[in-house]
Amino acid sequence: MTDRPWVRPAPGDPRWGHAEGLQIGLAPLPGPRGLIRIYTPYLGHPHGRMVNYVAVEPIPAGTSERGFSELETSALNSEPGKRFWGADDPAEPEGPCDGVEDVAGGVRRLSVYVMCERFDNGAEVYVRARFDERRPHEVALAAFAAPGSVPLSRVVLTATMGNWARLRRLRLRERVVTPGELWPGLADGLTGDVRFGEGFAAHARFGLDDLERDAAGAALLTAEPDEADPAAAAYAPGTKEHWHFEGRPAAQTWRVEDPGPGLEAWVNGRYTYWASRSPIPGGVAYENVEVVRPFEQGQEAVFAVEPLA
């Protein structure tokens, strides 16, 4: 449902965001459960085409083991993926949810809370998604621990489908890093982390000093394709149609306005598309792109998708 300048939910279509820009959506929209869908129709995508997903992965204090919103079994029906649902107020999580508009500094904003089923590790978290009318190609995502949660060391929001856009240029402060440099010789079937299944390389990590900064001092982590026309790629026989790129290429950026010394950038890569044996055209591409830092209530990172010239 369009409510200029916003998109708000319609029956069967839980979607919020900029009417002419970036939008988020939740199941039962197509795609796995336990993921925030990122839509960018301004890139020439048909309705329903996701440019990426954002997963929620909380880590309790005293451990390094993540919860996985996409992979854990739901207590609702024993199927993969934690339940996500929208709320206007986290104190009333089952109430109606159209998104709440407010005005800050003369700027219109739309906010919605993405509530999440309790994780197997005892984490109970939710995420506020906030849209700013001046910035149509981005959403600010803030993580919160609910009152019943175990103490948390981190809540990782990870952009988890970089392979669809074939992101291969990771822009750092003084250099561009490619998957070929990070994981030379990565081949189909390499198991970097058995929790993620076959094909993943182990995470590469970069500290705050490695990251680009904007004029205001915000830390930036940008990944972009290395192909001028990704839609013209030739795919291996049997590659499912939903992996075929369409639309305009774009840079995908995490921006942290108030970076602290514990901030790191973590990336991994794949040689094949997720849940398939189909090689990615052009070789290894980044899959999960994330900023990781010690947890603080309400900490925010902005996810932006900007068209490339």
Taking only the tens place, the pLDDT of each residue in 137-183 is 999 999 999 999 999 999 999 999 999 999 999 999 999 999 999 99
Distance CA 289, CA 30 (A): 22
Quick one: pLDDT band at residue 198, thresholds 50, 70, 90? low
Distance CA 214, CA 34 (A): 32
User: Would you state the pLDDT for residue 29?
Assistant: 96
Name the percent of the chain lying above pLDDT 90. 86
Quick one: pLDDT band at residue 76, thresholds 50, 70, 90? confident
Centre a 10 Å sphere on the Cβ of residue 71 and count the other Cβ atoms it contains: 17
Quick one: pLDDT band at residue 186, thresholds 50, 70, 90? confident
Residue 162 structure tokens: 């970089």
Q: How far is CA 190 from CA 70, 187, 201, 202, 263, in A?
A: 21, 6, 7, 10, 28
Give the residue from 255, 254, 80, 274 showing the smallest Cα distance to 161.
274
Residue 255: pLDDT above 60? yes
Residue 235: pLDDT above 70? yes
Distance CA 66, CA 118 (A): 13
- Higher-pLDDT residue of 76 and 164 is 164
User: Would you state the pLDDT for residue 147?
Assistant: 95
User: Would you state the pLDDT for residue 134?
Assistant: 96
Residue 95: pLDDT above 80? no
* Cβ atoms 117, 72 nearer than 8 A: no
Distance CA 261, CA 234 (A): 43
Secondary structure of residue 201 in the 3-state scheme = coil
User: Would you state the pLDDT for residue 185?
Assistant: 76
The DSSP output letter for 163 is H
Q: Half-sphere exposure of residue 204, counting CA atoms within 13 Å on the CB side? A: 20
Does pTM surpass 0.85? yes
Distance CA 70, CA 56 (A): 8
- Looking only at the bridges linking them, the beta strands covering 100-104 and 107-116 are antiparallel
User: Mean pLDDT across the chain, nearest whole number?
Assistant: 93
Residue 197: pLDDT above 80? no
Which residue's entry shows tokens 């291996």? 236
User: Would you state the pLDDT for residue 2?
Assistant: 76
Q: How far is CA 26 from CA 47, 48, 85, 145, 293, in A?
A: 14, 11, 7, 20, 25
Residue 309: pLDDT above 90? no
Tell me phi and psi for residue 181, to 5 degrees: -75, -40
- Cross-strand partners of 110: 101, 131
Quick one: pLDDT band at residue 293, thresholds 50, 70, 90? very high
Residue 287: pLDDT above 90? yes
Mean pLDDT of 206-210: 97
- Higher-pLDDT residue of 1 and 226 is 226
Residue 195: pLDDT above 60? no
Residue 196: pLDDT above 60? no
Residue 179, H or E segment: helix 179-182
Q: Over the stretch 13-71, which tens digit does the pLDDT of each residue have?
A: 999 999 999 999 999 999 999 999 999 999 999 999 999 999 999 999 999 999 999 99
- Higher-pLDDT residue of 248 and 187 is 248
User: Would you state the pLDDT for residue 187?
Assistant: 58
User: Would you state the pLDDT for residue 192?
Assistant: 42
* Cβ atoms 153, 294 nearer than 8 A: yes
User: Would you state the pLDDT for residue 32?
Assistant: 95
User: Would you state the pLDDT for residue 122?
Assistant: 97
Q: Over the stretch 242-251, which tens digit does the pLDDT of each residue have?
A: 999 999 999 9
